[in-house]
Chain A
Amino acid sequence: MEELKKPIGWPKDEPFPTPTIEEVEKAVQEGEDLIIEMTEELKDKVSGPTPEMLQALIDI
């Protein structure tokens, strides 16, 4: 970790262990990939209505 801008409240005389930009970039990229993966997994479990379903009559 490298020292960049310190968060407010962090002791002035101590370096804040800021993560490197590469570490954050990697985590963000993995996170975005994970969202796509989770979206794929959900596809069989939930979806928007099909045109036929939109025509279903609710009348009880």
Chain B
Amino acid sequence: MYILNEPYANLRVLNLQNSADLIRLRFLFSEGFEVDDFTKLENTSYLFGRKIRISLAASRILNLLALQNPRSLGIQSVVIESDYVDRDSNVAYAQLYSRAFKDYPRRTIRLHFFKKQVTSCEELLNEQILQESYVGYCVMSPIHPRTIGRTVLPPPKGDTAWFFVPTQSEFSVNLAGAKLTTEGTAFIQQDGRIAACASAATWMSTIITRRRFGFEVLPHSMSEITKMATKYTFPTIWGGTTPGLRVEQIIWALHEMGYEPLSHVVKDSDVAHELIYNYIESGIPPILIIRLSKGLHAVTAVGHTYDLDGRRKEEIIKGVNSTKIWCPYILIHDDQIGPYLKLRIDPQSVGTNKGPSLFLDETDPFLGDRKKEIKEWYRDAFLLFIIAPLPPRYGMRPEDAAKKGKVILTKAYEIYRSFLTDLGEKMPELPIFRCYFTPSNDFKRRFQPGKVPGLSCELAHWYRGSLYPRYIWVIELCSLKHRNVKDLKKLRIIADVTIDPTSSPYSLDFITLHLPHLFFRMLPKDTNVINALQTPIAFIKDDQPYQPLVRLEMGQAPVIVSP
């Protein structure tokens, strides 16, 4: 462990190639470590051989950081920042811990992870060098037993599949005057006293959604979420011992925070998978209420895997003609188990009237030596509800947007069948759709002919010149040929429609509609969908399939291991 020069009294550096520093890191993550124990890190006789207890969540974070695993985040050094004032911990302290008999510390420890060695304080002055190897951070809450506070890490690499985390966002920190940024999703663990899993899952979902959409709502700490959730219920509802929340209270909390909470009770695994996929593709991490053998639990879905293997016709029909079938696992943050766990959604067990079954990917290399406990945690798990925080007043449900978009595309193809046939175009025999919610400015911004392969310059102008509300639902159409590709850069779409999220889910109105060579649009004053479909606004001669929204910069490519 490096102790930096005197001016940096609150900083220490761990070199993870050094076994003693690995022990120190484990000690920092242990449940028994107290913030006041900071000086004990230097006392090797105190640390070595000491039995420590590490929570499952802390263990998973350590596995994600591990240097030895090629799929891990490959952390080489950790800068320990003591006496850090964390907002979430501070609010919890003000609300509960400052009034406790036990003297709880107010300040926390924050760990910064780097892919390269930090060897001297000189490097702290070079923001660019620090930024190049900066991976993320983790706050250790000051209470005892220790829990993991606000943690931002990027996803690890998959073995055969891509890890896509469209919900990720940019988080910035200041370390000794250097402003550093990282791309990732936020994770937090409940303290079990002021917040339980429901508040933690709500925190993880909204802290990300707020950043992703730039909502004009304040960030809320877990304790503030619990307070808002229980504002309209009897104080005794907690039963005196648990800060658990009811589904109704989670919905109240989201409403109080300024979101439009959409909730779904799901019975069918394909529909559940589709809804979760729609939200993830929209950059909105849905809260999943799941039944475990111990009781009801809440987790947050933040991403999905993407498998490049080709899919067969039968699989596509069974998967409701959605691109989700290339995404077999969802990635979740479980405050009790850790970040980026892989879960598969399967049909419910025969003869039961539960919900879709949830299966943990047991080949996940980051389960480490706690695999047995984690397997037991998810034994017989099934999904009950999905709750998603959307922007206020944008209450169109993804299933309604998808139905509406699919029908508009199908009927528009029917109306122009002979015209399209003359141009050598037709509705694919096996149409495949993707549906997502997005800020319209993000949607328009991506129409850059030089940067989007296949995109016609004229089509780009029509999209860029169209009027949209602040948020829209987008439904894309592609064929099997354009989806069964081994290179993600070769994905193509042939048509799409954009829908106003405040419109009726039962009408066929749209904002823009693109079929091969034809572009339609409905302006705010246009109310007649028949006229709009009868008169395309533009004929685009050089139109061809073009690349859909592929967030390669947000994905982690699989590790290719040579045979």
Q: With the chains together, A20 CA to B385 CA distance in Å?
A: 46
Known interface pairs A4-B534, A7-B536, A28-B411; A46-B268 also in contact (CB < 8 Å): yes
Asked if A42 contacts B296 (CB within 8 A), the reply is no
Roughly how many angstroms separate A16 CA and B419 CA in the complex, as a whole number? 9
Give the contacts of B293-310 with A (CB-CB under 8 A). Answer: 294-298
Residues of A within 8 A of B540 (CB): 9
- Asked if residues B248 and A35 are in contact (CB atoms below 8 Å), the reply is no
Asked if A58 meets B530 with Cβ closer than 8 Å, knowing A24-B415, A32-B506, A35-B404, the reply is no
Given A46-B265, A53-B385, A59-B198, A19:B247 Cβ within 8 A: no
Main secondary structure of the interface of A (DSSP, over half): mixed
* B245 near A58: Cβ-Cβ < 8 Å: yes
Q: What A residues does B244 contact at CB under 8 A?
A: 57-60
How many residues of chain A have a CB within 8 Å of chain B?
Answer: 41
Which residues of the partner chain A approach B400 to less than 8 Å between Cβ atoms?
39
Per a CB cutoff under 8 Å, which of A17, A18, A28, A38 touches B508? Answer: A28
Bound together, the chains give a CA A25 to CA B531 distance in angstroms of 9
Task: Check if B538 sits within 8 Å of A9, measured CB to CB.
Answer: yes
Residues of B within 8 A of A49 (CB): 247, 263, 265, 385
Across-interface contacts of A55 in B (CB, < 8 A): 246-248
Complex Cα spacing A51 to B345, Å: 25
- Expressed in whole angstroms, the Cα–Cα distance for A59 and B289 within the complex equals 11
B533 contacts the other chain (Cβ, under 8 Å)? yes
Closest CB of chain B to A52's CB: distance in Å? 10
The answer to whether B265 touches A59 (Cβ under 8 A) is no
Which one of A18, A38, A58 contacts B403 once the chains associate, using CB atoms below 8 Å? Answer: A38
The answer to whether B265 touches A35 (Cβ under 8 A) is: no
**Contact with A44, one of B267, B297, B336, B416 (Cβ below 8 angstroms):** B267
Q: B533, A45: Cβ atoms under 8 Å?
A: no
Residue of B nearest to A42 (CB): B399
- Given the interface pairs A45-B268, A49-B247, A58-B246, the reply to whether A25 lies near B539 with Cβ below 8 Å is no
Residues of the B chain whose Cβ atoms lie less than 8 Å from the Cβ of A59: 196-198, 242-245, 295-296
- Bound: A60/B412 CA distance, A: 49
Say yes or no: B533 contacts A27, CB within 8 Å: yes
Are A60 and B294 closer than 8 Å at their CB atoms?
Answer: yes
**Pick from B245, B266, B507: contact of A46, CB under 8 Å:** B266
Interface size class of B (residues with CB under 8 A): 35 or more
Contact of B530 among A5, A21, A35, A57 (CB under 8 A): A21
Interchain CA distance A7-B258 in the complex, whole Å: 43
Do residues A58 and B250 form an inter-chain contact, with CB atoms below 8 A?
yes
B325 at interface, CB cutoff 8 A: no
CB distance from A37 to the nearest CB of B (A): 10
Taking a contact as CB atoms under 8 Å apart, the answer to whether B416 and A19 are in contact is yes
List which B279-322 residues lie within 8 A (CB) of chain A.
Answer: 289, 292, 294-298
Question: Is B541 a contact partner of A56 (Cβ separation < 8 A)?
Answer: no
Indicate whether B132 reaches chain A with its CB closer than 8 angstroms. no
- Residues from chain B with a CB closer than 8 A to the CB of A39 are 400, 403, 505-506
Knowing A48-B264, A57-B246, A58-B197 are in contact, say whether A24-B297 is a contact too (CB < 8 A).
Answer: no
Closest to A20 in B: B534
Residues of A within 8 A of B412 (CB): 27
B245 — which chain A residues lie within 8 A by C-beta? 57-59
Chain B residue contacts of A17, Cβ below 8 A = 418-419
Kindly state whether residue B537 has any CB partner on chain A within 8 Å: yes
In the A-B complex, the 10 residue pairs with the closest CB atoms? A59-B244, A45-B268, A54-B248, A9-B539, A10-B539, A31-B411, A60-B297, A58-B198, A7-B539, A58-B296
A interface residue numbers (CB < 8 A to B): 1, 4-5, 7-10, 16-19, 21, 23-25, 27-28, 30-32, 34-36, 38-39, 42, 44-50, 53-60
Query: Apart from A49-B265, A60-B294, what 8 extra A-B contacts exist at CB < 8 Å?
Result: A35-B506, A39-B403, A53-B247, A54-B246, A56-B296, A58-B198, A58-B245, A59-B197
Residues of B within 8 A of A (CB): 196-198, 242-248, 250-251, 263-268, 271-272, 275, 289, 292, 294-298, 336, 384-385, 399-400, 403-404, 407-408, 410-412, 414-416, 418-419, 458, 505-508, 518-519, 529-530, 533-541
What are 30 A-B pairs with beta-carbon distances under 8 A?
Answer: A4-B535, A7-B536, A8-B539, A16-B539, A19-B534, A21-B530, A24-B534, A25-B530, A27-B415, A31-B408, A35-B404, A35-B508, A38-B407, A39-B403, A45-B266, A45-B267, A45-B271, A46-B267, A46-B271, A49-B247, A49-B265, A54-B247, A54-B248, A57-B245, A57-B246, A58-B198, A59-B196, A59-B295, A60-B196, A60-B197
